[in-house]
Each structure stands twice: as structure tokens, then as C-alpha cells.
Structure 1
């Protein structure tokens, strides 16, 4: 099974201030430097190579450097997620988020305040951020079910937290606080066998579509032997989210290597189709719930009255 490797954290040493650059004869206002925020710059070529989450982490580091009292900042929500390297679904914000108690609600155009249970956080890359499990639960509560599940799966897959810690963090949210049921749901559904954000998003859609809960990373065998793992499995049906890793095409591969990878995947798909019904989809399909539902319905995976994804005691979790 191939999974997406954890992204490298943003290196705050890449940030430069004007006082650092001008003694070297560099004017950061000219071409070649990307302005992260007031007083902080990154080499333009380096900036182009950063992922969206690394760019947001750069904004968090730059904001912390500009803060008058940075030691009091505990970064939360997407800002903590970016520093941890947790993925989210959708665009990263253009502001950073700090955790404050209700008595300290103050922010700015760049800094947004998230009012929540106080915590000293933990140190990560020189910043104080909410713990991984707390960050996941906060994303589920305040951003979306899809982002919470995607971050939770990633955190479990890379041993950044545990299922027990997720459940405990969700349970620590006081009753009647916004998003608590969604945080509990994400903690229950999180599964480290989900190998990419696209697979996590797909599973979130399956839940809201009320489809039967799939088995993840299903071993597939035919008369010739082991075929591989299917991302999702139902009786008689295999579901596959198509990302680049599916084709094992390394970045920068030449045409011959890409052709071999595509041919190997075609042979694998032919073997699967001879024994199972196969549903395949891409990011655009997963982002549109109804479209993914139609793809799965065409292969016989249809909504049911009680999907039984989770068991939350007496509460109907379907």
C-alpha cells in the first residue's frame, strides 16, 4: 500500500526581514522576493515550491516574529494544522488564528481570535500550537466535517496522535458548545488506513450520502494471485480514488517510466474488472457529493436507511 508521505514542515529560517537583506545589498521590494507579511519575505523561487499548507505556516511564523508578545500566542485551527502539516479540504485562510479566553478577545486584520478552552499548547517548530488531537477536533467543529476527518486520518496514518486521544479531545469539548457532535463523529470515524486526503474526503461524502460503510484497503486476489489493495470495498464492488500515487509515476519521470506505470495500472484494472464491479473517481468527483453518489450508484452502491457507520450508544449515528 502506498500512502502520501508527510510533508516537510516550513523552515522558518527561510524568512528574511528587510534589516537582514539590505546589508547584503538586497532590496526585498524588488523582484525575486515574495512578501509574506509586513517585515517578512521569502525568496520567490522558494515560495513557488511551497505547498499551500507550507505557505500558511510561513504566514504563521512571520506573524509570530512580528508579535510584541509572541510567547502568549497559542496558534489554533488552520494555523496549528499548517504548522503540524495536517491537510484540510479547501483553501487556506489569509489570516492566522490564535487561541484566546473569552476575556481576551482582540484581533487584527491578520490575526483572528478563536475563543476556546485555554491551553498552553505544545512547541512545534518554535511556535506554541494546540495539540494534534485538539487541532483535529477544532477543525471538525469550526471548519468542516470533511476537513476534520481528513486531518484526523492523516494524523493517525503518520502516528501523530492516537484514536484514544482523538476521542478524549472530542469529549473534552463542553456540552452545548458549537460543533461538539461533529467533533465526536470525526473522532469515531477517523481511520489511519485512509491513504490520502482524497480518500478521506471520499469517505466523508460516503457517510453523508448514507452509503454502507466501506472496508478500507481491501486485499484483492484472483486466480493469478494477489492483485493489490482496493481503496474501498463493498460486497462485489471495489472503489478507487485516482490520485497520482495510484499510477506510481514519480515526479519528473520520463515518458517511458510513465508509460510503464500506466500499463501496469491498466493490467491491474483489467484483473479487478474481471471479478468485481469497479467504481473510479477523481478529485472533481469527490468534491461534488452528488456526482460521487452517481458513480457509486452505477456500480450498485446505494444509500441505505441505517448505514451503521458508528455506534454512539443510544444516539442514532446514521
Structure 2
């Protein structure tokens, strides 16, 4: 079952060159405008309404707009991830990376070369970027496993790439290249059944803690019918990451709507607890793996002597 549609593409039409604004008699430095990077501005109100992903996408598009090099940039790593709409757990960087295949290419304070193997560029949102699978593997090699798995899960969930494509990109990393192990691990851990970055983060923490590998999106029924799908399932226990989507109220919803959503979730949990142990946690607990471990231990999910998630030596 697919989740909500992918993150809407950043609307680059909201970006304006300072020179174009001044030709219209608008001086952006006098207020109501926000400078994305030198020479490129966006209305302050629009910038305030952007999430962190869109703000990095704005920086990426602005960097391409102001690039004066002899060749078109192939955006990579976090820059490509922002164009593809891939989520991230840690903060977005203040730099924009583009792929280069030889040393000695100079960069700037914001625009940075990323030395990597040659890649067939893909056009997305009017920009030249690395493919989704290659982008995920580059994130794995240069950043955290948590960020890369969140991006990989999202990409698989929304069918932006396939497990085979991720595995092929990981296998293509040279044997002694930096980050090869992380690339292979991310390709192995990626799962399109994951529904949110919080679930991806939780699953990586479970792997690090050597907890038993859970099943994802396990369906439960009782004599009243369908209870619903739980995020994580083990024999005798289930786990639920409490993200905001579970308590989402339609825009303009009333106080009664809020109470109705909370009450429905409580009744669902009561029905689950009649069948199995239930552990719940929030973002602050998922980030701190030992707090997550303590919560899961309360329902009998404890570390294994040897991780049985998969054979990394195979």
C-alpha cells in the first residue's frame, strides 16, 4: 500500500534575480524579500512557508541559476536528494554538491565539487541530477546510515527506484572505496513498506541495537473486524512510531474532530493490547537508541547475541 504522494516539487518560479527585480523598480534589500544566495531572492512570506527540504531545493535551484561555468552541473548527494524530494533526518547542509569525475575542480563557498564515479545524469525539475538510486548510495557513502535509509525507504515506497537498482549501485562502488560498506548496508536495509522517516530511523536503531528484525505493516484483526496495520511486528509484540500523521485532522477541523481522532486511536490500541504487547514511542525516543531499547524491552524485545537481519558476508 502506497502512502501519501511524494513531496511536491519545489516551484522554482518563485526565485528572482536581483537585477530583474530592480528593473521592475523593486529593491529586495528593503524588506519583504529573502536572499536565498547572492543575487537570488524569494518573497519572505514564501520562504517562511517552506519546509527544510524546500529551502535546500531553493538553494540548489538558485545555485544553478547563478552558475556561469562552461558545462552544465550534475547535482549530487543532498542537492540531488532535494530535487527528487527525498526526506532527511539530520539538518540539510548549507552547501550544494555537484558530481565531478576528476580531481582539481575548484568550488566556491556554496557550490562544492563531489568526486565520484561517472554517472549517467537524469533530468528532474529542469535540472541535471544523479539518478535516485545513485543519489541514495552517494548519501550512504558520505553521510549517515539513518539519512540514507530514510531516503531509500521513501524512494522504494514511492517507486522512484527499485531494490535491484539500489543493489546494483551499491555493488558498483569500488571494493576499497570510502563508504562501500555503508552503501551495501543501506541497500540491504531499505524497505518500501516503511511509511515515514521516523519509522526508518527506528528500524536503523533496532538494527544497531541487535534487536530481532521486525516485520513491517503487519495487519491485525479481531472479532470486530480489521484493527489496522502496525508499524513493526514481532511474535508476541508490536511497535508503533507515533508520528503526527497518526493524529492528523483535516484542515479546519474542530476540537471535536481532534478528540474523535485521539479516541479512535485509543480504541485501536485497546483492541491491539487484547492480542499482543504494544510498545509506542515518539521522535525524541527514536533518536536516542537506548531509550527506544528500554521501551521495546518492556514488551520482551531484547538484543540477540548475534544479529540475524541478514548475512553481510554473503
TM-score norm. by structure 1 comes to 0.95
Q: Please name the residue that 2:297 is paired with.
A: 297
Residue 67 of structure 1 is matched in structure 2 by 67
Q: Which residue matches 2:148?
A: 148
Q: Deviations over 1:74-94 (max 9, x none)?
A: 111111100100011110001
Show CA shifts across 1:30-50 (max 9, x none). 211110001101111111111
Deviates more, 1:113-122 or 1:283-292: 113-122
CA distance in structure 1 between the partners assigned to 2:112 and 2:50 by the alignment: 23
Q: What is the aligned partner in structure 1 of residue 288 from structure 2?
A: 288
1:122 Cα deviation after fit = 0.8
Pair 4,297 (structure 1): closer, same or farther in 2 beyond 3 Å: farther
Where 1:290 maps in the other structure, the secondary structure is helix
Partner of 1:12: 12
Deviation of residue 250 (structure 1)? 2.8
Q: How far is 1:216 from its partner?
A: 0.2
Task: Supply the distance in 2 between the matched residues of 1:212 and 1:252 (Cα, whole angstroms).
Answer: 42
In 1: Cα distance, 2:26 partner to 2:70 partner: 28
Corresponding position of 1:98: 98
Shift of 1:211: 0.4
> How far apart, CA to CA, are the structure 2 residues paired with 1:252 and 1:154?
28
Q: 2: distance between equivalents of 1:144 and 1:242?
A: 23
Offset of residue 19 of structure 1: 2.1
For 2:258 and 2:2, locate their aligned partners in 1 and report how far apart those are by CA, in whole Å. 17
| 1:252–1:183 distance in 2 versus 1, CA, 3 Å | farther
1:173 maps to: 173
Extract structure 1 runs of 4+ deviating beyond 4 A: none
Residue aligning to 1:36: 36
Q: CA deviation at 1:5?
A: 3.3
Shifted more, 82-91 versus 115-124: the winner is 115-124
Which residue of the partner structure matches residue 240 of structure 1? 240
Query: In the aligned structure 1, how far is the partner of 2:11 from the partner of 2:229?
Result: 35
What is residue 160 of structure 1 aligned with on the other side? 160
Distance 1:5 1:252 in 2: 21
Gaps of 5+ in 1: none
Q: What is the CA–CA distance in structure 2 between the aligned matches of 1:133 and 1:83, rounded to whole Å?
A: 13
1:279 corresponds to:
279
**For the Cα contact (< 8 Å) 1:156–1:191, is it kept in 2?**
yes
SS in 2 for 1:177: coil
Deviations 1:8-66 (A, max 9, x none): 11111110112221233221112111100011011111111111111101101101111
How far residue 159 of structure 1 moved from its aligned partner, in angstroms, is 0.6
* CA-CA distance at 1:248 after TM superposition: 3.5
Query: Counterpart of 1:254?
Result: 254
Task: For 1:70 and 1:208, locate their aligned partners in 2 and report how far apart those are by CA, in whole Å.
Answer: 45
Q: Could you state the TM-score of these two structures normalised by the residue count of structure 2?
A: 0.96
Instruction: Specify every segment of 5 or more residues in structure 2 that has no aligned partner in the other structure, as ranges.
Output: none
Q: For residues 128 and 275 of structure 1, do their structure 2 counterparts lie closer, same or farther at Cα, with a shift above 3 Å needed? A: same
Cα offset for 1:70? 6.8
Distance 2:47 2:28 in 1: 14
**Which whole-Å CA distance do the structure 1 matches of 2:236 and 2:247 have between them?**
23
Worse-matched range after superposition: 65-74 or 227-236: 65-74
- Would the aligned equivalents of 1:74 and 1:120 in 2 still touch at CA under 8 Å? no
Structure 1 residue 190: Cα displacement: 0.9
Asked if the contact 1:285–1:292 (Cα under 8 Å) also holds between the matched residues in 2, the reply is: yes
